[in-house]
Amino acid sequence: MSAAQLALADAFQEAFGRDSAGIWAAPGRVNLIGEHTDYNGGFVLPFALPQTSRVAAAPRSDRIVHVRSLLNGETAEFSLDGLAPGVVEGWAAYAAGMLWSLEQAGHLLPGLDLLIDSDVPIGAGLSSSAALECSVGLAATELAGVELSHAELAQLAQHAENDFVGMPCGIMDQMASIAAQAERALLLDTRSMAIEHVPFTLAQDGLALLVIDSLAEHRLVDGEYAARRAQCETGARQLGLESLRELNDDGVAPEDLAARLEDPVILRRVRHVLTENTRVLAAKEALSIGAYAELGEILSASHASQRDDFEITVPETDTLVETLMSPHQDHGAQPALGARQVGGGFGGCVIALIDADSFDGLLGAVQENARQRGYTEPTGFLAQPSAGAHRLS
């Protein structure tokens, strides 16, 4: 056991007065590309981070669940009997919702003592909530002797988030957290649930993927995400389609949408989804052949589409992208090859494909720029494509 695992096992012993039966981990994710395509039956290309949610767990002989967080010291207690949306709220709803979703699907669980720790940045668009759901889901299924495929567990975690927490997310974050592999990006077709692990090792080409947290406010449970989803559904209905993905199947050109959609807002939303799906597949091809200049351009085009057509960026993330794409000789940094906001939108993180040697310089430049504009100073790290959810001990 690593020192961190030993510390979590010790903390479990202290909190519950007995040993945990094991420790499970599920990672946060970065979405390389494919934003707001997952609930439209489209394509996404995320990868998992080394930052994880970890849960030490042990079954109980009753149907009571204690879930304690090392992050805030709070404990939620509830019974699996009578568990329903609204019974548990706040951070613990993600854990409770996962257990509720498993039981709804007919998987009988024992009561559980759960101790949670996490180093996935919260509210940054890096899927701290999916990581929590998936780590709890993996622990609970293993302790109950329930065997589920990656897709089944991800879908139950999505059900928890949709119907227990009340966030109408797609399937990307949960699938990335469960099914990702180290040094690979995960191409997911969210309609068929087919996956492909795409080699993603930038270091050998002297490149890196920079993740910058704008620290701008980012809240998905407010109405904007749901509003975008509803607008996409309206667009599909007006076009007579089951999902906007069919536009890609039919090879519809973005220029031809205007003749078919009267409402300019719906037109912009639909155009983003159509062009973003095309960009995901192009990005996957570019990545596969090491065409990094092209990959960078595709990432930047995704940002422009999120800004102009989907309207989910904020001044802080737009400024970050502009700064990352500009020369900074004074900081000894090359401009990024491409940059975009990631996740649900309205703040959170920006990623940039960069020359590995430019990390310090680019981070310094965006921090200086943020200070000058009176924005919160962003933080940054280099992303390492990592393994999906697994048992640690």
Backbone φ/ψ region at 63: left (φ over 0), alpha (ψ -120 to 50), beta: alpha
Q: Does 36 engage in binding with ligand GAF (CB under 6 A)? A: yes
Does 38 show up as a binding residue in the annotation? yes
Q: Where are the alpha helices (DSSP H) in 245-291?
A: 245-249, 264-288
Element (H, E) at 382: strand 379-382
Neighbours of 50 (CB within 10 A): 16
Q: Which stretch binds ligand GAF (CB under 6 A): 164-172, 180-188, 255-263, 363-371?
A: 164-172
Could you tell me the sign of the dihedral formed by the alpha carbons of 202, 316, 273, 43, in that order?
Answer: positive
Q: Who contacts 17 (Cβ-Cβ below 8 Å, separation ≥6)?
A: none
Nearer to ligand GAF, 53 or 323 (CB): 53
Residue of 216, 209, 211 lying closest to 318 (CA atoms): 216
Calpha distance 8→5 (Å, rounded) = 5
**Closer to ligand GAF at the Cβ: 113 or 173?**
173
The residues in 172-201 that bind ligand GAF, with binding defined as CB under 6 A, are 172-173
- The window from 5-13, 47-55, 75-83, 167-175 that contacts ligand GAF (CB under 6 A) reads 167-175
- 15 versus 314: smaller Cβ distance to ligand GAF: 314
- Residue 38 as a binder of ligand GAF (CB under 6 A): the answer is yes
The distance of closest approach from Cβ of residue 344 to ligand GAF in the complex, given in angstroms and rounded to an integer, is 3
In 3D, which of 301, 286, 378 has the Cα closest to residue 339? 301
Examine residue 303 and tell whether it contacts ligand GAF (CB under 6 A).
no
Q: What is the largest CA-CA distance in the chain?
A: 67
Please pick, from the candidates 235, 335, 344, 361, the single residue that binds ligand GAF as defined by CB under 6 A. Answer: 344
Of 173, 213, 309, 355, which is the active-site residue? 173
**Smaller CB distance to ligand GAF: residue 24 or 43?**
43
Least separation in angstroms between CB 369 and ligand GAF: 26
Catalytic residue numbers read 173
Residues making contact with ligand GAF (CB under 6 A): 35-36, 38-39, 169-170, 172-173, 343-344
Which residue positions form the known binding site? Answer: 35-38, 69, 123-129, 161, 225
